[in-house]
């Protein structure tokens, strides 16, 4: 299958969907470096092809390295890291394509967000401690904090948490207020205050349940289960009627935060001042979501917002 994308430099390119089940180069250590074998067992001799492979920067510690033989393959390499996890190296143009698709659904997500909010408010108002109500609490936090959803694998391997894997010890009282504080991805520390009465009531009830995980529910047989990421994503799909997941909340939150910060600033009259103001807004947005500014700009803030600020049309749109 072919897709058309663009390189980070803006050049159009056609990519081929590839897989590490296809024939590819293997990496073997020779002396202090590596050589690369073809499927027939012979060693790669092309300097140009070797240069392409080395540019993928596959870490030396990776084992069972597979390298795509097609320069235009969307998946360029895979390997097993020192924790036994499979890691992937993609073509730079694939990242551009994925980002376009990611931002492309954001307007549809925004249109369905009122339905999602109506659904979680209704569920949070229920008296019964149902599975639906518990998941609604997670979705409320996704919407208001923009924090990652998390998963059991990250919790087990890295001792890092997301909203679905929070433990009861991550909830504490401070100055008569309830807060959540936890270690997220890459060791980043997150903290948020909980003020919504319906959510406060839910968390109070959840803290009385057996087990360490906060978001749990009992089935018809009375057995308790931790809420999984897939359950949250399915709840979002059902509430919205669209193919949305928890990830859209983080992208939406970053875009809205940045827009609000830019709106609060007076219009910059020169390109230099616009660039400075934009960088400050991105930096502040990244700080709230525990990103680096570069990551926040490239992967989380909608590029249309950035362009609208740079060309001066943002204020006209917001004040219309």
Give kind and range of the element (H or E) at residue 140. Answer: helix 131-145
Dist. CA 56–CA 58, nearest whole Å: 6
Confidence check: pLDDT of 2 > 70 = no
Tell me how far apart the alpha carbons of residues 19 and 306 are, in angstroms, rounded to a whole number: 35
DSSP 84: S
Please state the pTM of the whole predicted model.
0.77
Which of helix, strand or coil describes residue 182?
Answer: strand
Q: How far apart are CA 301 and CA 297, in angstroms?
A: 5
Q: With left for phi above 0 and alpha for psi between -120 and 50, is residue 120 left, alpha or beta?
A: alpha
133-190 per-position pLDDT tens digit: 999 999 999 999 999 999 888 788 888 899 999 999 999 887 778 899 999 988 889 9
d(CA 99, CA 110): 17
CA distances from 161 to 167, 180, 214, 255, 267 (A): 9, 12, 12, 23, 39
Sign of CA dihedral 232, 234, 236, 238: negative
Of all residues in the chain, what percent carry a pLDDT higher than 90? Answer: 66
Distance of alpha carbon 38 from alpha carbon 240, whole angstroms: 49
Q: What is the pLDDT of residues 201-216, one digit of tens each?
A: 999 999 999 999 999 9
Residue with tokens 């109500």: 133
pLDDT tens for residues 57-68?
A: 999 999 999 999
6 sits in which H/E element: strand 2-6
Q: pLDDT class for 314, splitting at 50, 70, 90?
A: confident
Helix (H) / strand (E) element for 250: namely: helix 247-263
Using alpha carbons, list the distances in angstroms from residue 82 to 59, 78, 94. Answer: 10, 13, 26
DSSP 213: B
Domains parsed from the chain with CATH numbers:
2-98 (3.30.66.10), 122-243 (3.90.15.10), 248-318 (1.10.132.120)
**Looking at residue 6, what is its pLDDT?**
52
Cα atoms in the 13 Å half-sphere on the side-chain side of 3 = 17
Phi, psi of 160 (to 5 degrees): -115, 155
What b/e readout covers 45-59, taking b as 16+ CB neighbours within 10 angstroms? Answer: eeeeeeeebeeeebe
Instruction: State the pLDDT at residue 209.
Output: 94
Q: Bridge partners of 80? A: 63, 86
Taking 3-state DSSP, the helix, strand and coil percentages for the chain, each rounded to the nearest 5, stand at 45, 20, 30
Q: Kindly give the residue spans of alpha helices, DSSP state H, lying in 105-183.
A: 106-124, 131-145, 152-158
C-alpha pair distances (Å), 89 with each of 68, 73, 75, 95: 10, 11, 6, 10
Q: How far apart are CA 282 and CA 137, in angstroms?
A: 29
131 contacts: CB under 8 Å, gap ≥ 6: 217, 219, 227, 231
């Amino acid at each position: 299958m072919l897709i058309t994308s663009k390189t980070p430099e803006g050049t159009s390119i056609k990519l081929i969907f590839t897989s590490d089940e296809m024939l590819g180069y293997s990496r073997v250590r020779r002396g202090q470096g590596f050589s690369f074998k073809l499927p027939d067992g012979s060693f790669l001799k092309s300097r140009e092809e070797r240069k392409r492979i080395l540019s993928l920067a596959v870490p030396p510690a990776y084992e069972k390295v597979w390298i795509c033989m097609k320069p235009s393959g969307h998946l360029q390499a895979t390997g097993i890291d020192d924790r036994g996890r499979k890691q992937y190296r993609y073509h730079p143009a694939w990242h551009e394509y994925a980002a376009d698709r990611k931002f492309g659904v954001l307007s549809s997500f925004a249109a369905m967000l009122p339905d999602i909010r109506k659904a979680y408010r209704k569920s949070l108002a229920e008296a019964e401690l149902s599975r639906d109500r518990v998941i609604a609490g997670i979705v409320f936090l996704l919407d208001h904090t923009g924090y990652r959803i998390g998963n059991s694998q990250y919790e087990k391997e890295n001792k890092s948490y997301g909203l679905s894997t929070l433990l009861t010890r991550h909830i504490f009282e401070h100055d008569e207020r309830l807060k959540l504080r936890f270690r997220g991805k890459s060791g980043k520390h997150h903290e948020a205050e909980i003020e919504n009465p319906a959510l406060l009531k839910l968390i109070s009830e959840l803290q009385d349940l057996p087990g360490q995980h906060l978001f749990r529910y009992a089935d018809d047989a009375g057995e308790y289960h931790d809420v999984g990421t897939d359950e949250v994503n399915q709840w979002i799909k059902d509430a919205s009627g669209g193919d949305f997941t928890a990830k859209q909340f983080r992208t939406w939150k970053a875009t809205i935060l940045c827009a609000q910060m830019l709106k609060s600033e007076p219009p910059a009259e020169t390109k230099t001042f616009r660039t400075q103001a934009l960088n400050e807004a991105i930096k502040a947005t990244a700080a709230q979501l525990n990103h680096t500014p570069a990551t926040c700009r490239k992967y989380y803030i909608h590029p249309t917002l950035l362009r609208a600020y740079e060309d001066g049309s943002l204020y006209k749109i917001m004040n219309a």
